[in-house]
């Protein structure tokens, strides 16, 4: 067990040993209903012996937005959390691709009502190894879910509220039970929204198309990065507009993008073959570029990378 988790996590301002980070069982009650979180990744550069965290400031700014929307007060700033994250990764000596998950929740909810104003948020940052699949050649076959995506006036999908994830979980479970690898959800208006945990992009008539942030999607950081790289580095027209379900079936390429999914090619939607049933040209080029950007094996988009300083001899500030 000891080697399957890092030595420390960060909890309410202190670095705590993994084994010592426990809560009372009664805290389970309402504590995660209003909890919000982030999913962030660091990529190991073997040659430089360095871990680069992707768009760390943007992720922590979004965490602050999420907390504001669920009215969870905190005394920590994004800057405090940024410094804590870097120290934690250095002290855990993470020399591999790493997932970083900050979580803000309302502690001590036992005996309280859900309508009671939350106290200052409890904040946790934990990490675990998560190798990249960008060069694995893996592809997905998905279905359009019979579940509808939550909407801004139901449970705002633009933030990372734990409760929102029940919607995507139902869609994923249905898709797996039906023999697919994943799902794509439609909005209440019947437009393509997003997948559980990832945004949807298609290539059609030489353009990259993706649903707008008003069609029930998370304000995804990977989506923004992919649109920027497609425009600037691949010279593609990138269009944000509502997409019909049948545009998925007729697309030349379909892929998912997100922190966990990176860029994941889709080769079938509802048993319609996409393109020639293999990873498409644009998708493949974006995967290759994205991996080198994430690992810092090239100079482009350097401002997206925060070096952790895990190399021997570098110590926490």
Q: Which residues pair with 15 in a beta bridge?
A: 10
Q: Which helix (H) or strand (E) holds 85?
A: helix 78-91
d(CA 29, CA 10): 23
In the three-class reduction of DSSP (H, G, I as helix; E, B as strand; rest coil), residue 246 is classed as: helix
Residue from 31, 109, 222, 306 touching ligand PMP (CB under 6 A): that is: 222
Binding residues for ligand PMP, total number by CB under 6 A:
14
Minimum gap (Å) between residue 195 Cβ and ligand PMP: 7
Beta-strand pair 207-210/237-240: parallel
DSSP β-bridge partners for residue 16: 9
| From 124-132, 140-148, 212-220, 308-316, span contacting ligand PMP (CB under 6 A) | 212-220
Catalytic hit among 133, 141, 143, 160: 160
156 binds ligand PMP (CB under 6 A): no
Q: What is the DSSP letter of 159?
A: S
Active site residue 160: yes
- Determine the interface stretch with ligand PMP among 10-18, 136-144, 217-225, 287-295 (rule: CB under 6 A): 217-225
**Considering only residues 104, 134, 183, 198, which one is a binding residue for ligand PMP as defined by CB under 6 A?**
198
Interacting stretch for ligand PMP, rule CB under 6 A, among 27-35, 72-80, 93-101, 196-204?
Answer: 196-204
The residue from 197, 211, 265, 296 that contacts ligand PMP (CB under 6 A) is 197
Rounded-to-integer distance, Cα 208 and Cα 202, Å: 6
Biggest alpha carbon distance in the chain?
Answer: 58
* Choice from 60, 221, 236, 254 touching ligand PMP (CB under 6 A): 221
- Closest approach, Cβ 256 to ligand PMP, in A, equals 9
Backbone angles phi, psi at 231, to 5 degrees: -70, -55
First to last CA, the chain: 30
Q: Residue for token digits 């934990």?
A: 126
If binding is defined by CB under 6 A, does position 145 make contact with ligand PMP? Answer: no
Q: Which of 190, 232, 189 is nearest to 208 (CA)?
A: 232
Mapped onto helix, strand or coil, the DSSP state of residue 196 is coil
User: Which of 145, 220, 264, 306 is the binder for ligand PMP (CB under 6 A)?
Assistant: 220
Asked if 193 is part of the footprint of ligand PMP (rule: CB under 6 A), the reply reads no
| Residue 286 engages ligand PMP in binding (rule: CB under 6 A) | no
| Nearer CB in complex with ligand PMP: 90/191 | 191
* Alpha-carbon span 50 to 270, nearest angstrom: 42
Q: Residue numbers of the site for ligand PMP (CB under 6 A)?
A: 39, 168, 194, 197-199, 217-218, 220-223, 258-259
Residues identified as active-site: 160
């Amino acid at each position: 067990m000891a080697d399957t988790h890092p030595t420390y996590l960060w909890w309410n301002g202190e670095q705590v040993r993994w084994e010592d980070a426990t809560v009372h069982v009664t805290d389970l009650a309402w504590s995660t209903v209003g909890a919000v979180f982030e999913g962030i990744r660091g990529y190991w550069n073997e040659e430089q012996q360095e871990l680069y965290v992707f768009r760390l400031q943007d992720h922590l700014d979004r965490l602050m937005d999420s907390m504001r929307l669920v009215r969870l007060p905190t005394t920590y700033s994004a800057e405090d959390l940024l410094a804590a994250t870097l120290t934690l990764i250095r002290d855990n000596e993470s020399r591999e691709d790493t997932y970083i998950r900050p979580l803000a929740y309302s502690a001590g909810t036992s005996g309280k009502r859900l309508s009671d104003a939350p106290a200052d948020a409890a904040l946790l940052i934990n990490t675990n190894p998560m190798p990249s699949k960008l060069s694995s050649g893996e592809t997905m076959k998905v279905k359009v879910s019979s579940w509808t995506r939550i909407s801004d006036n139901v449970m705002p999908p633009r933030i990372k509220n734990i409760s929102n994830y029940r919607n995507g979980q139902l869609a994923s479970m249905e898709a797996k039970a039906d023999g697919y690898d994943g799902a794509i959800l439609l909005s209440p208006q019947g437009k393509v929204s997003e997948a559980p945990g990832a945004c949807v992009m298609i290539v059609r008539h030489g353009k990259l198309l993706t649903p707008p942030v008003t069609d029930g999607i998370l304000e995804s950081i990977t989506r923004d990065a992919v649109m920027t790289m497609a425009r600037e580095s691949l010279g593609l027209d990138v269009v944000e507009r509502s997409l019909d379900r049948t545009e998925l079936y007729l697309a030349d390429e379909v892929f998912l993008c997100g922190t966990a999914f990176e860029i994941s090619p889709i080769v079938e939607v509802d048993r319609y073959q996409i393109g020639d049933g293999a990873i498409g040209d644009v998708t493949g080029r974006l995967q290759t570029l994205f991996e080198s950007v994430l690992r810092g094996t090239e100079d482009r988009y350097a401002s997206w990378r925060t070096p952790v300083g895990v190399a021997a001899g570098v110590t926490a500030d």
